[in-house]
Homo-oligomer: A and B are copies of this chain.
């Protein structure tokens, strides 16, 4: 029988780990990158293309889905997996981050967050209990606790109070999730560490989360403008505060070199809009660095984006064609560059997993940086 949630670490190399998470809807190889499927679609991709790129799991956004098409509607239509034709695991965020960054007229109280939809201005209340209910209605496989994510440059007392409220919300999330009974028996719940850049607050948050107990632990409140050096500074200590036998998920990260540095520091899971959003804007990721395909120097270049890449964009099209498509605003340009970027990201994750398994992660990371950043 497939377990509800079982994380197995197959190899470690320094702080880096590789393993698998076994769940009812499929196995997740770690370190894992989760493409973002905000509004029940990974933008410009069919789900079979997302899978073919190497993704074991995708992310869905509670905030977007609760507003459109609505969680109850998705539930009546058989859940998010059926709705969007993706039968493998889905992790849903809690709405906590997006409600801060996207909604309008927010009011935060101990109860939760009242806000106006950025789509139609309608008023909504999101609480830990409602976030759990929405994620249950969606049929999420990995449910995220509801938290508040303050700005990393907020005063320490703001960060501290916010983190402490998020920890109370984590407890309410746990209770709300467990009340889901059948859904709780088939899915997993992750807590989210907060505390911004402050080691003592990260420690306090990690301890509070472990007192509640979660299937996995996310590191929240990073990748919000603090810069890679500050982020790595936190990642030098924050993952170690979380249980070694549980997956550690760094939310909203990041650039390819962010991923390598984070895996080096013990992170197992990532999500980010960068490969999809950049693809639509004409930025492609390659082992030799990022390429802006809009640049005029590609206008007549007959070579593919990356000779070694197995994706359709690289096997069948020139840089000149991709340049043309993006300049002309053609949808196929977004489709091909998104597919390429997701393939590159998954290739990078696969490369890291293999390097860890073969105990050569340090040299992998060094070679990657020399080529990618060089």
Cβ-defined contact, A83 with B318, below 8 A: yes
Cβ contacts A219-240/B at 8 Å (1 or 0 each): 0000000000000000000000
Distance from A157 Cβ to chain B, minimum over Cβ atoms (Å) = 40
Evaluate contact between A316 and B85: CB separation under 8 angstroms.
yes
Q: Are B328 and A68 in contact (CB under 8 A)?
A: yes
Q: Is A312 on the interface with B (CB-CB < 8 A)? A: yes
| Residue in contact with A68 in the complex, picked from B280, B327, B335, CB distance below 8 Å | B327
Write out the residue numbers on chain B whose beta carbons fall within 8 Å of the beta carbon of A327.
68
Q: Is A331 an interface residue (CB 8 A)?
A: yes
Q: How large is the interface on A (under 10, 10 to 19, 20 to 34, 35 or more residues)?
A: 35 or more
Q: Measured between alpha carbons, how far is A312 from B41 in the docked complex, in Å?
A: 15
Q: How far is the CA of A320 from the CA of B302 in the complex (A)?
A: 42
Minimum Cβ distance to chain B for residue A277 (Å)? 12
Bound Cα distance from A327 to B77, whole angstroms: 17
Is the beta-carbon distance between A302 and B78 smaller than 8 angstroms? Answer: yes
Say yes or no for A325: interface residue by CB 8 A criterion: yes
A299-326 residues at the B interface, CB under 8 angstroms:
299-300, 302, 312, 316-318, 320-321, 324-325
Which of B44, B300, B332 is close to A77, meaning CB atoms less than 8 Å apart?
Answer: B300
A46 contact set on B, CB distance < 8 A: 312, 332, 335
Binding site for B on A (CB under 8 A): 39-41, 43-46, 68-69, 73, 76-78, 83-85, 280, 299-300, 302, 312, 316-318, 320-321, 324-325, 327-328, 330-332, 334-335
Given A85-B317, A331-B334, 15 additional A-B pairs, CB 8 A: A39-B330, A41-B325, A43-B332, A46-B335, A69-B320, A76-B300, A77-B302, A77-B318, A77-B320, A78-B302, A83-B324, A280-B331, A331-B331, A331-B335, A335-B335
